Structure 1
Amino acid sequence: MLTQTELLTKKGDYIQQMFGSIARVYDLLNTILSFNFDKKWRKFAVKVSNVAPDAHVLDVCTGTGDLAIAYSKVLNQDGKVIGSDFCHEMVRIADHKLRKRKLSDRIQVIEADTLRLPFHDNYFQISAVAFGIRNVSDLKSGITEMMRITAPGGRVVILEFSQPTSPLFNTIYYTYFKRILPFIGRLISRSRYNAYSYLPTSVLNFPDRYGLQTQMEACGLEDVKIYSRTLGIVTIHVGQKPCK
């Protein structure tokens, strides 16, 4: 069994094993543990992306494809969404979900590493990620790769957990996040990798909203905007790739 120390190294094999172990209950736990707010967060991320109806969109670390699905809802027949993930079990479940919902003609899912995306430069108008960039072994390289495949003038969108903005809410939130959430996660997922103990630890070790903004700017993104939601427990960052 992998330890928390091993998981926090974010070595690819470890992260794949951990997410593979919870893939079958991933959607259920997202709904339960976020009190169903996760759908609203993704919808808002799509909204602030300012995506054109005919855009090409890449959702990296797609998991079971929920952000890709959210983007597909605002695109027309000329638009295109691809979801990529390096966890085979997640891609398999995403593919099944799309076929079941009759969305396979609108969304394609592939198995690919965010650090080595199999796409030409400047292909997508939007590259996005929801709750996944935190698990990439090299944050700067992950953002740079998302930027590479984004066209000049296009946007890189990151939806990620962050630390609450309300001091009064902090105690309640961190009690839930560090104690109750891991307990429920272990109970339902029965994961032997302690995936839901890794979650709060990885969030607390991740740059805060301003630190992530700085990282995105250091990678070359411009006009990086920050949108905090639900008392700051999640934040959406939207940066633009320079036109020249």
Structure 2
Amino acid sequence: MNTDKEISQEELLKKKAENIRNMFGSIVRVYDFLNALLSLNFDKSWRKFAAKVSDVKTDTKVLDVCTGTGDLAISYSKLLNGNGLVVGSDYCHDMLRYGLPKIKKRHLENKIKLIEADTLQLPFRDNSFEISTVAFGIRNVADLEAGIKEMRRVVGPDGRVVILEFSQPTNFLFRRIYLFYFTRILPMIGRLVSKSRIDAYTYLPQSVLAFPDKLSLKKKMEECGLEDVRFFTRT
């Protein structure tokens, strides 16, 4: 056993997580607006779609990891029509603090619980939820495999894991336009709007391009013990 190597790898993952947390904390006030830019304003309809295909029942317990400012948690709570339970977790305190007023504005503060937690070490027992979900956040988890396994653990063998994430288009022409927008236009707009010293909207397009494609992600989820893995393409 090479203990030094294992420790250095653990420290590397921890440092990556800290950097990402600080980065998102720096853009929290414009996060929702810039998410719309990142998705060409499709993000809201995509979240609603993800919630609808989750087979939600009236008493379903849902965990939304990497919840950010709580948009997907809100989508699930609306679908539950005030029933069930939705917990949104995120390791960026500023995101949760900014998301709470959005939840209160919709009178959902008794239906959605926000907690500060690391997706790699979720503070829940096995089988605590029926659904665990994440929107545009799993690619920011320091260890993708460990993150998926944690999402699987808290729902157990009969639960569902739902991942909503960006993927690169397969159409050649649309892919060229997409890549130009992602790598050239978006970072420029992001820097102008966020005025952040931390270049989050250079990182975000790069993280999408580096993320596994849908077939690779499907395989990774199956390797993590998930069964009947399906994907839906929205663009």
Same fold per superposition (TM over 0.5): yes
Partner-residue secondary structure (3-state), 1:227: coil
Letter in 2 for 1:195: A
> Quick one: which of 227, 231, 234 aligns to 1:226?
231
CA contact (8 A) 1:127 1:147 kept: yes
Alignment of 1:1-244 (within 5 A): 11-230=16-235
Deviates more, 1:11-20 or 1:99-108: 99-108
How far apart, in 2, do the equivalents of 1:125 and 1:192 lie?
A: 40
Higher relative contact order (CA 8 A, sep 6+): 1
Percent of aligned pairs with the same amino acid: 65
How far apart, in 2, do the equivalents of 1:10 and 1:28 lie?
A: 27
For residue 9 of structure 1, report the CA deviation from its aligned partner.
9.0
CA contact (8 A) 2:62 2:86 kept: yes
Deviations 1:183-212 (A, max 9, x none): 111110111111000011111111111111
Question: In the superposition, relative to structure 1, how do residues 150 and 8 fare at CA in structure 2: closer, same or farther (>3 Å)?
Answer: closer
Partner-residue secondary structure (3-state), 1:99: helix
Partner-residue secondary structure (3-state), 1:175: helix
How far apart, in 2, do the equivalents of 1:45 and 1:158 lie?
A: 8
Partner-residue secondary structure (3-state), 2:196: coil
Deviates more, 1:55-64 or 1:161-170: 161-170
How far apart, in 1, do the equivalents of 2:47 and 2:70 lie?
A: 11
Partner-residue secondary structure (3-state), 1:123: coil
CA contact (8 A) 1:10 1:137 kept: no
Give the TM-score, by structure 1 length. Answer: 0.88
For residue 102 of structure 1, report the CA deviation from its aligned partner.
1.6
How far apart, in 1, do the equivalents of 2:65 and 2:30 lie?
A: 20
Q: Answer 1 or 2: which has greater helix percent.
A: 2
RMSD of Structure 2 on Structure 1 (CA) = 1.6
Deviations 1:96-154 (A, max 9, x none): 22122221011111100000111111010000000101000100000000000003311
Partner-residue secondary structure (3-state), 1:183: helix
Partner-residue secondary structure (3-state), 2:27: helix
CA contact (8 A) 1:72 1:107 kept: yes
CA contact (8 A) 2:130 2:160 kept: yes
For residue 156 of structure 1, report the CA deviation from its aligned partner.
0.3
How far apart, in 2, do the equivalents of 1:129 and 1:170 lie?
A: 24
For residue 77 of structure 1, report the CA deviation from its aligned partner.
4.2
Q: Which runs of at least 4 in structure 1 moved beyond 4 Å after TM superposition?
A: 7-10
Q: Which runs of 5+ in 2 are unaligned?
A: 1-11
For residue 176 of structure 1, report the CA deviation from its aligned partner.
0.5
Question: In the superposition, relative to structure 1, how do residues 13 and 124 fare at CA in structure 2: closer, same or farther (>3 Å)?
Answer: same
For residue 157 of structure 1, report the CA deviation from its aligned partner.
0.4
Number of aligned pairs? 224
